[in-house]
Chain A
């Protein structure tokens, strides 16, 4: 294929295929937020440091501000909107609430997706493993204390009904 500045992209997002014509320069996070209207994924920096835009792409946690939407063509994407089900909140979501692991809630979607990626790969993490797993997610409200506790509780299934 020859280079194009815009192309039709198909991404399966939270189980549903979405197709859009997008500019090659469009960041995945803007595709998700602006084109698909899934505003749970946030932007907190310009440099890929803060992790508020973390999503799970083909099973792997990534920062959606450091990918182009065209790179995700043909991929499967999970955002924070996929976590809760008809049965209620995901264990991580409930644990975050139980442990007051969020204040303003801005970092929370990215934090939850990093935590989900951790527990998907390591169901019984140590505290240090939890801290390492969320090292790429900045929270300016909590000092991480309760976030670490919440993830540990979710891993152990200790969440309120």
Chain B
């Protein structure tokens, strides 16, 4: 419950934030804090410095892109997404999924950037972004770069954002011909995911990203009929973790089911 001593800075610009992150060894960005503060309470991590992004209001913007997609600043909260006409228009699945994350208070503070950067395997957004083909913009002292979602997630709590870098933006392309879907088996209603799947359907093909079955979302490309989806999951060689909420075998079993359900609901979306 009680944190180790930590330094704190609240920069006024992205440049200053990046400078603080680069100049202070052991510095970590602080967005909504709904993961990192918990981790620090458990003293499972003890960053030397927290760089509070609260004043970087540019990163709170949601904007429709010219091609019909949508850009989310890294500090956009789940609550913002829930009421965003731009997101609803471009990728409505994000609205549905954001409403299932944690609870009101956490949704009020928790940010999309925090969700993807913590990359807890049970998080909702990593599979959604991978299936949707999102790109993520990372800023460092040498400028910015854009990483596709499927390359962004590297391991549990590990992403392409390196030391001294900051995730600033997530860009979702416009919906392809079909739609997006999401399905999860959770601990209780809208609880932590035991297994999740996000799907983006484009005509006869679906991109399915499975959550909770590996350190990072597992991306599968498959046909849209249930048999194809299940076959793709069976063929993926999943080796999911076992824990109190489900054995590896149970997760493997559920993966095929939620993948099929996600694809089916993506069909409804389109």
Binding site for B on A (CB under 8 A): 1-5, 7, 23-27, 43, 46-48, 51, 54, 60-63, 65-68, 70-71, 114, 117-118, 132-133, 135-137
Contacts and interface: CB of A to CB of B under 8 A. Distances in A.
B105 A67 contact: no
B108 A4 contact: no
Contacts of B189: 135
B10 A67 contact: no
Contacts of A68: 3, 8, 30, 33, 37, 50
Nearest to A63: B105
B109 interface: yes
Given A43-B1, A135-B103, A136-B104, A3 B41 contact: no
Contact of B104 (A4, A23, A117): A117
A interface secondary structure, majority: mixed
B106 A48 contact: yes
B103 A51 contact: yes
Given A24-B6, A27-B41, A135-B104, 4 more contacts: A23-B5, A24-B5, A61-B105, A132-B190
Contact of A4 (B7, B30, B102, B109): B7
Nearest to A136: B103
B33 A66 contact: yes
B93 interface: no
B148 interface: no
Contacts of B2: 25, 27
A3 B104 contact: no
